[in-house]
Amino acid sequence: MFYKANGNGYQQVLPGIRIKTLTYGELTLFTEFKMEKGSVLPKHSHVHEQTGYLIRGNIILTIGTEEYEVAQGDCWCIPSNVEHRAKILSDSVAIEVFSPVREDYLKFK
């Protein structure tokens, strides 16, 4: 699958948090998140390993019991079934890869 960059198709999944699935294959799914200052991604977990990169902005990311101040250029990997959450400190954009493919995110393309 090939994705040609464009600004269309982002869908709000939580207040202040929009998502777009950019591309996916048999084993991985690649998404972009646009997050507004003050929004919160509540604590949750899933079977998918999640690797991310902050393109711009600042967030507080909690993975398990560890809290991280994340700035532009920082990256992370959240193991399968580990609780995590995020507080958005400034308007931010992140890219994340999920494995296996998140079937529930296929609708966000």
The CATH number given to whatever domain includes residue 45 is 2.60.120.10
Domain span holding position 83: 13-108
The string over 56-80, giving b where at least 16 C-beta atoms fall within 10 Å of a residue's C-beta and e elsewhere, is ebbbebebeeeeeebeeeeebebee
- Range with the poorest average pLDDT among 5-9, 50-54, 79-83, 86-90: 5-9
Q: Is 93 inside any structural domain?
A: yes
Question: What average pLDDT does the structure give for the chain?
Answer: 96
Q: How confident is the model at residue 109 (pLDDT cuts 50, 70, 90)?
A: confident
Instruction: Say which amino acid occupies 41.
Output: L
Cis (ω within 30 of 0) for the bond into 100? yes
Q: Is 98 inside any structural domain?
A: yes
* pLDDT (mean) for 97-102: 98
Res 4: pLDDT: 87
* pLDDT (mean) for 77-96: 98
